[in-house]
Amino acid sequence: MAGPRLTLVRERDHEAVATAMERLEAEICNVSYMAGIVGDIFEDLFSRDLAKVGGRPDTYFVSEEQVNQHLFAVFHLQQMTKELRERFYAAGKARGSQPA
């Protein structure tokens, strides 16, 4: 499901919007890095031969600690993306843009 889009309404707002987006750069990078971490830990979990149960390629043993770590990573990434989305739209509204 697509979210609302920003429509820039005035030429003079471009600089203000660009400044607002620059302020989001670090947060965007953090979300990107976290997504990479989540992907890496899932890949690591399911690429290890030791995790396979009974030598079956479709069955893995996952400890409770591993489940908790993976759930934390996924839900933390979800929270980070939600907050980034909110800040993005707030920055656009504050700079003269309107959700479409």
What's the CA gap between 81 and 76, in Å, rounded?
Answer: 9
Q: How far, in Å, CA of 86 to CA of 73, rounded?
A: 20
Model confidence at 95: pLDDT above 50: yes
pLDDT digits (tens, 9 = 90+) for 22-34: 888 999 999 999 9
When pLDDT is averaged across residues 39-64 and rounded to a whole number, the result is 76
Angle at 46 between CA 44 and CA 48, to 5 degrees: 70
Position 100 scores a pLDDT of 45
The mean pLDDT value for 3-25 works out to 69
CA 1: distance to chain centroid?
A: 16
Residues 6 or more apart whose CB falls under 8 angstroms from that of 45 comprise 51, 60, 62, 66, 70
